[in-house]
Amino acid sequence: MHYLVKPNWRKWLVAGIGCLMVWVITPALAQRKAKDKEKEQKPKEGVRGVEESLFTEGMKFMMMDEPSKAVAQFQKVIQLYPENPAANYAAATALVKLNKPEEALPFAQKAVQLDKSNNKYYVLQLAELLVKQKRYSDAENLYEELIKKSPDNIEYGVELAAIYLFDEKPDKALDMYDKVEKAMGMNEEIVRQKQRIYLKQNKVEKAILEAEKLVASEPGETDYLLEGAELLIANDRNDQAVDWLQRALKVNSDLPQAHVMLADLYRKQGNLEKCSQELDKVFSNPNLEADIKARILSSYIDMMGKDEKARQSAVKLAKELSAAHPRDARSQAIYADLLVQQGKKAEARDYYVKAARLDKAKYEVWGAILQLDGELNQMDSMLVHSEQALELFPNQGVIWAFNGSANYFKKRYKEAVEAYEETKRLSATNAELMKSVNAQLGDVYNGMGDHQKSDEAYELVLKDDPDNDHVLNNYSYFLSLRKEKLPLALQMSERLVEKNQTNATYLDTYAWVLYVMKDYAKARTYLEKAIQVDKNVSGTIIEHYGDVLYQLGEHDKAIEQWKRAKLKGETTERLDKKIATGKIYE
């Protein structure tokens, strides 16, 4: 529904108020018949003057955007002359402007009832107010009568059709749209509205015919052909869509969107050769900017689904695009995205770094860089990249978390705590992140030797997530090293291996808790299981196994395992002394 066009009040002008144009009361007042004049007395003429003055004053307030004051003036006019349709219309207009449609309705109804000149604007105002109250049938009757009275009013058939749709009468809406088009010619918006109705009714052929009307109206407008192709694709008419796209390319052979859509249709048909040819036409176009090519490639990637050959083609195109446009950040980032999907993390990270250098403002790119730094276990890079990212995004808690992890790995415990606390301040509502941060804080405080804070951080995690693997492992292991709260350590490590029976690290943790509690036989069982499930276990696990063998009296075997552990690395500082003396030093 459009907003009402105001009536032409010029024919009801009165002089005065400087050069300000004003509206005066209805022509009915100025056009009374001679017999009315004879009946008029001087007091009545005085009333008319007051009437006109009040109305003019009301219109001044409307023009000054003070509708509440205007309403008061119009109501005074109505009190003096209740049969004035213009005053009722104006009062309704002011109330609508005050967002009081319910109060406006009676005045709008009165204006229509009183009007003898068939003023269409009174009718339109009333119809709009009825629609707002969802009194669709009443509004329809007003519009139907308005259109019936004059062929010039057929333009309002568009509003009437919209009301039919509100009232769930699509066939009536279609019929009215046809009448408007017959009288006024084809209208693009009407065509589109008819297409929507037909598609909702599952009348695809009729919707396509409407698309053909648009094409016929402007044969050189390729957008209509592309839209028609999209409609066909959406309704599984792929062969027809190919035809429409080819028609568009005959008009203009340099339509990137048409080539991309054709490429996807050929891909679905299994014709990868034609698919590749269409994409090559896009990317070989020297007049096409890098950003447009990147958007097209991104769109194609979204369309290709799990088709492996299409994915390989996309990787090839992305690589060519990144090489052809080394100064375009998006091209580098798209290629990096595809490299991640291929598992080429190091290469992907390097391309993300290139993208970040070209366009520092992309938060998602920095997030991808830091994520890959972590997965590659490159903490030096993570520290540098997180510090660079924090200069740009100091209010992003996730980046502070990466910075905390990097600092912890570098044993910069104070800086790690500060970073994690900043994460907690900025991202307190992110439950998963808070869980991860508290778990890491437990590790950091343990590294600092602040065991109370370490235990408190771990307990915070276990309160909400009692099966958190990271905390169950580290908390129980650190307690065993401190020889504190051993029953709790045993309970946690036992729960851990119940859930993870093939994880060598967790099996080692449980075994070491058992070792500290002097249950050497059971510890041996779990260490041997750890070595069995992971043929490449760490030197720590092998050293622990040697310690258990020593406690069980198998000293020669113990020394043999300690020597194996030394070759592996990641052992305790006392290992060399154990090998040299053949003894354990607690």
Instruction: Tell me the domain boundaries of the chain.
Output: 1-133, 186-253, 538-586
Q: What is the pLDDT of residue 24?
A: 33
Contact by Cβ (8 Å): 530, 538:
no
Q: List all residues 6 or more positions away from 308 whose beta carbon is below 8 Å from its beta carbon.
A: none
Contact by Cβ (8 Å): 85, 26:
yes
**Of 349, 384, 345, 387, nearest to 365 (Cα)?**
349
Return the CATH fold of 1-133: 1.25.40
- Sign of the four-CA dihedral 413, 417, 418, 423: positive
User: Which region, left, alpha or beta, applies to residue 172 given φ > 0 means left and ψ of -120 to 50 means alpha?
Assistant: alpha
Q: List all residues 6 or more positions away from 76 whose beta carbon is below 8 Å from its beta carbon.
A: 54
pLDDT tens for each residue of 34-77: 334 444 444 445 556 778 888 999 999 999 999 999 999 999 99
DSSP 73-142: HHHHHHHH-TT-HHHHHHHHHHHHHTT-HHHHHHHHHHHHHH-SS--HHHHHHHHHHHHHTT-HHHHHHH
* Helix, strand, coil tally for the chain in percent (to 5): 75, 0, 25
pLDDT tens for each residue of 310-348: 788 888 888 988 888 899 999 999 999 999 988 999 999
Inter-CA distances, 342 with 306, 351, 375, 380, Å: 13, 14, 15, 24
pLDDT tens for each residue of 548-584: 999 999 999 999 999 999 998 877 888 989 899 998 8
pLDDT tens for each residue of 151-192: 889 999 999 999 999 999 999 999 999 999 999 999 899 999
Q: Which of 114-118, 286-290, 460-464 has the lowest mean pLDDT?
A: 286-290
Contact by Cβ (8 Å): 248, 232:
no
Name the pTM for this structure: 0.61
Under DSSP, is residue 251 helix (H, G, I), strand (E, B) or coil?
helix
Angle among Cα 356, 358, 363 to the nearest 5 degrees reads 35
In which band, very low, low, confident or very high, does the pLDDT at 303 lie, cut at 50, 70 and 90?
low
C-alpha radius of gyration, the chain, whole number: 40
**Can you tell me the mean pLDDT for 122-141?**
94
Q: How many Cα atoms sit within 13 Å of 573 on the Cβ side?
A: 1
Q: List all residues 6 or more positions away from 247 whose beta carbon is below 8 Å from its beta carbon.
A: 225
pLDDT tens for each residue of 190-248: 999 999 999 999 999 999 999 999 999 998 899 999 999 999 999 999 999 999 999 99
Q: What is the pLDDT of residue 382?
A: 97
Q: How many Cα atoms sit within 13 Å of 169 on the Cβ side?
A: 14
Q: What is the pLDDT of residue 468?
A: 96
Q: What is the pLDDT of residue 48?
A: 63
Percent of the chain with pLDDT over 90: 70
Q: Is the pLDDT of residue 300 over 50?
A: yes
The number of angstroms, rounded, from the C-alpha of 102 to the middle of its chain's C-alpha atoms is 37
At the fourth CATH level, the homologous superfamily of domain 186-253 is: Tetratricopeptide repeat domain (1.25.40.10)
Q: List all residues 6 or more positions away from 471 whose beta carbon is below 8 Å from its beta carbon.
A: 439, 442, 458, 461, 462, 465
DSSP 383-426: HHHHHHHHHH-TT-HHHHHHHHHHHHHTT-HHHHHHHHHHHHHH
The number of angstroms, rounded, from the C-alpha of 582 to the middle of its chain's C-alpha atoms is 65
Angle among Cα 223, 226, 231 to the nearest 5 degrees reads 125
Inter-CA distances, 277 with 173, 240, 344, Å: 45, 20, 27
Question: For residue 560, which phi and psi values (nearest 5 degrees)?
Answer: -60, -45
Inter-CA distances, 518 with 476, 486, 488, 542, Å: 16, 11, 16, 18
Helical (H) or strand (E) element with 297: helix 290-303
